[in-house]
Structure 1
């Protein structure tokens, strides 16, 4: 689905007089009949950001309710970690972490054994994006629920054993070895430890102190209750038995003879777990898994029309799969089935990750810088003509590869108003330069969806920039009053664009944190109650956190980017 943008363009004439003309920049595939509905329901931005954020910690923490299921592989030589209460390799499906710090978070007491495994043959897995390993009522597990049970199951929020067994059972028909999810970091739910992995070591290590961390008790309980469930099952409890409530104090670990000094405290364990997860904050993300973009299902696919209606007017942090229709779910599952059973690997070979990265590389910092230039406080400190001239230069930088020689406005022709058709070739080349050489017939369904999203995002960016360029072209000849009017128009247009794009790279700590701190947003189960039911109670303001003490700095005073 493409975005059709209709808006008034203020066209400057060379003489310095200005006439207002109603101009339509038509998307190549849009029609007047569907334009209004498309603007309301467009999902290009949602698909684009999801694809550009796969296996990256920060955006999948910010956009917790994942909407993507995609095939992936864990390559040979990858090391995985599994903490448990004994030295034995699990004989049932279990959890492993890419980072030992992540696995150590769940080290049981009184004994902690760390198993280290290496992948001997590539693991075939699927990846659920978002904070899909976070036990929550807020929708983090929706995509798993609809795959396993055909609907969102609130009653299965803590059913970890049932969840891993049901997903593994479902995955057998596709020869899947496991599943990747994310909580603080990325984990591999491994269905069979005896296939494709080899035990490197199983060592008895020192656990952390037995006291609860000095945080809300339910934060500690989230990990301990889940780990209690996992451990009780792995040690022989029946799956039908209800999990025992978490102990108010963990059992003390016997210290070895001649041990001196304290054990690691829980604050240290938590902070290091978060920091290890943050190694994969942004691109390229967790590289120990390889995404197959040709086999991807997005619940933002506009073909799933029941979800378009359910999302209308709803902010992204409240997007759920609760209202997916039976027909749309069957369609999504048929897409997933086709992706996972397709044997023909004669695909386009396009690196879609690099292509989305080319878009964000080119525009992320430049749009943010343009936003800063247009900030009211900055305009108040300068004369309007100077600010407008700066904007002209910034827009020209972004449009330079597409400023065709001779693509200029004609002299005023004496008619009432005039069109801005002279910028349409500029907009066209800006929108199509990255994808014009890609032939749809060579693409899978998933690739066509991604290509369409990239084109939709570029259409919106390039349309906005060329609309501003029409105004800015002769702004150096404008009066200070006229420049001020244009600045207000440009500010509104840019804010609308950035609000629609909603790229997570803009929502970080600015200015950046000092070296002794790192940037942090609430990460399950820290900074939120694991039984929370109102997402708006969770403070997602980026803040600097002390690497040693875990103390949070003050929320950054700069306003949100849009």
Structure 2
């Protein structure tokens, strides 16, 4: 995933030689090696790193860019509420799942003898035809993990589970040693959603992507986590969830409510719509201060010299990791990730909220860039918009375009001082993205101002559109405000058609139905 260079007019070529920083006195805290992270790799993959930070812990961007390549330590504060659907009123023990949303957990509040309240969940869900039982449901058999140990949390009581229950838990202490795996890392597909989990953390090349095998994956993660000092793994599918390795440690059991066992169906049943609505409420973030991400400890494949080209040309915008047997670099990433948590010594230090920095840049430019390439936006209007964006960085008493570009590129980076290795890599990536934005806008401004240049029709819009294509921001696929009987619908595993991924839109509550077709069935 290499960023493409913008073609510059001759008077912009000297700018390519400028390498400045908002923090010139700071130097990277790491020694660059042939297989390790580097500033060069961060610059080469700058748009991807920028977008990974922008989409982190956000359902929208993580659904569109579902093949996550990055890891972040994360903390859940004391007092946070979670939900868990199961077949017993007794508090869960050992390894289990926590849902951030009520509707997500309700889907898994099923009895062992049936499909729980109302039969199937939205679109028949993960437990639908050909997909095995719900991935969070306990199994009647006793599967073993990669390391051959029987997986805890399975039940031998054949009389247990004739009803379904929704549990409510509250954290009794901060869950301070969680690992957030970005993208849609809980999606059981062979499209790349599980690459970072299976290839890097589990270090295996051929893992089943069947939903019913996810408990084996979770058991492997928790065995590895016990060695590394990780207490749980934060992932996303149709909703965010935590695989918590020891339910007895850090959770307070508040209640267990038996669910209505009577089937509900018909045109008035809103469960599918309400689940989709709940997912939509988290498009722009988990909200409620429920998760704190340590961006200053980010580990990303985009930092390393790895070929992340997707072998499926139809999905070229979605990166893929090579299998462990094909790349020594994955072992280096795994080692660097282990070092964050090794011996249980990880403690979150002072961290920079890089997502705040990225948000400032996106909100500054996203709508304005799109406005400038609309068919009915005139050259004069484009010039006026660019003047509005660039005047802050222009001293008309003594115009110095190279200096103005650097002022523009560094503007939102001025308040931050990188301290960690990840900080320096992220800073380099964001600066590269910002510089490309500013350089392009100054180039277009000069072209429109210089009437001696004969512009090809729409040349200024072509330059801006090339920038938009390179940035690839997920904001440009947002629906806008839908009607109250609609939901903005994007493909989230296991539901969604192909068009729901490429062109999300507002869907009426009674038209959601069984939307399938985008996600592969796993194997």
TM-score by length of 2: 0.76
Query: How far, CA to CA, are the matches of 1:284 and 1:98 in structure 2?
Result: 8
What is the CA-CA distance between 1:147 and the residue it aligns to?
3.4
Q: Give the 3-state SS of the residue equivalent to 1:424 in structure 2.
A: helix
| Aligned pairs, number | 442
2:307 maps to 307
For 1:383, the equivalent position in structure 2 comes to none
2:404 aligned with 1:426, yes or no? yes
Q: Could you tell me which of 64, 69, 72 is aligned with 2:71?
A: 69
Residue deviations 1:234-254 (CA, integer Å, cap 9, x gap): xxxxxxxxxxxxxxxxxxxxx
Match of 1:395 in 2: 386
Aligned match for 2:422, one of 431, 442, 446:
446
Which structure has more RCO (C-alpha within 8 Å, separation ≥ 6)?
Answer: 2
**Structure 1 residue 174, shift from structure 2 partner:** 3.4
Query: In the alignment, what sits opposite 1:495?
Result: 465
What SS does the aligned partner of 2:7 have? strand
The answer to whether the Cα contact below 8 Å between 1:82 and 1:96 also exists between their aligned partners in 2 is yes
Report the CA distance shift for 1:300/1:366 in structure 2 as closer, same or farther (over 3 A): same
C-alpha deviations, 1:486-534, integer Å up to 9, x for none? 5521111111111111000101226x43332121122211125xxxxxx
Q: Equivalent of 2:490, from 515, 518, 521?
A: 521
Deviations 1:365-385 (A, max 9, x none): 11121122xx2xx26xxxxxx
1:504-519 matches, cutoff 5 A: 504-509=474-479, 512-519=481-488
1:127 match: 180
SS at match of 2:302: coil
Secondary structure at the aligned position of 1:26 is classed as: helix
3-state SS of 2:190 partner: coil
Return the offset for 1:49: 0.4
| Deviation of 1:435 (Å) | 2.5
CA distance in 2, matches of 1:346, 1:185: 25
Selected match of 1:206 from 260, 270, 284: 260
Which residues of 2 match residues 254-269 of structure 1 at below 5 A?
Answer: 262=264, 268-269=270-271
Q: Distance in 1 between matches of 2:309 and 2:478?
A: 31
Change (3 A) 1:523 1:23: same
Deviation at 1:445, TM superposition (A): 1.4
| Structure 1 unmatched runs, 5+ | 10-19, 31-37, 210-261, 380-386, 409-421, 529-535, 554-562
Partner of 1:147: 200
Structure 1 residue 286, shift from structure 2 partner: 7.2
Give the distance between the partners of 2:41 and 2:14, measured in 1 at CA. Answer: 14
- Residue number in structure 2 paired with 1:187: 241
For 1:57, the equivalent position in structure 2 comes to 59
SS at match of 2:74: strand
Q: Relative to structure 1, is the Cα distance of residues 394 and 59 closer, same or farther in structure 2, using a 3 angstrom cutoff?
A: same
Q: Give the counterpart of 2:505 among 502, 522, 543.
A: 543
Residue 328 of structure 2: aligned partner: 327
Note if 1:272 corresponds to 2:274.
Answer: yes
Distance 1:44 1:315 in 2: 19
User: 1:83 & 1:27 partners in 2: Cα distance?
Assistant: 58
Per-residue CA shift, 1:421-475, capped at 9, x if unaligned? x4111111111223256444xx111111211111011011011111111112355
Q: Match of 2:298, SS?
A: strand
Aligned 8 A contact 2:43 2:432 in 1: no
**TM superposition shift of 1:133:** 1.1
1:120-171 per-residue CA deviation (whole Å, 9 max, x = no partner) reads 0111211111111111111111111023431343435432111111101111
Tell me the distance in 2 between the aligned counterparts of 1:298 and 1:208.
Answer: 47
Asked if the contact 1:105–1:270 (Cα under 8 Å) also holds between the matched residues in 2, the reply is no
**Are the aligned partners of 2:6 and 2:440 in contact in 1 as well (CA < 8 Å)?**
no
| Whole-angstrom distance in 1 between the partners of 2:471 and 2:4 | 15
Residue 396 (structure 1) shift: 0.9
The alpha-carbon distance between structure 1 residues 336 and 311, as it changes in their structure 2 partners (threshold 3 A), is farther
Query: CA–CA distance in 1 between the matches of 2:339 and 2:233?
Result: 18
Question: CA 1:187–1:208 in 2, change beyond 3 Å: closer, same or farther?
Answer: farther
What is the CA distance between 1:356 and its match in structure 2? 1.1
CA contact (8 A) 1:71 1:127 kept: yes
Q: Which residue of 1 aligns with 2:449?
A: 473
In structure 2, what is the Cα distance between the partners aligned to 1:152 and 1:188? 24
Q: 1:150 to 1:27 in 2, by over 3 A?
A: farther
| Residues 294-353 of structure 1: per-residue CA shift (max 9 Å, x gap) | 22111111x2x2325668988554421135654211211122122224958695543212
Moved more, 428-437 or 79-88: 428-437
State whether residues 3 and 459 of structure 1, in contact with CA within 8 Å, keep that contact through their aligned partners in structure 2: no
> How far off is 1:5 after superposition?
4.4
TM-superposition CA deviations, 1:385-438 (whole Å, max 9, x none): xx2111111001111210123344xxxxxxxxxxxxx41111111112232564
Q: Summarize the Cα distance change of 1:208–1:493 in structure 2 as closer, same or farther, 3 Å threshold.
A: farther
Q: Deviations over 1:87-132 (max 9, x none)?
A: 1122231111011101111221352111111000111211111111
Relative to structure 1, is the Cα distance of residues 516 and 116 closer, same or farther in structure 2, using a 3 angstrom cutoff? same
CA RMSD of aligned residues (A): 3.2
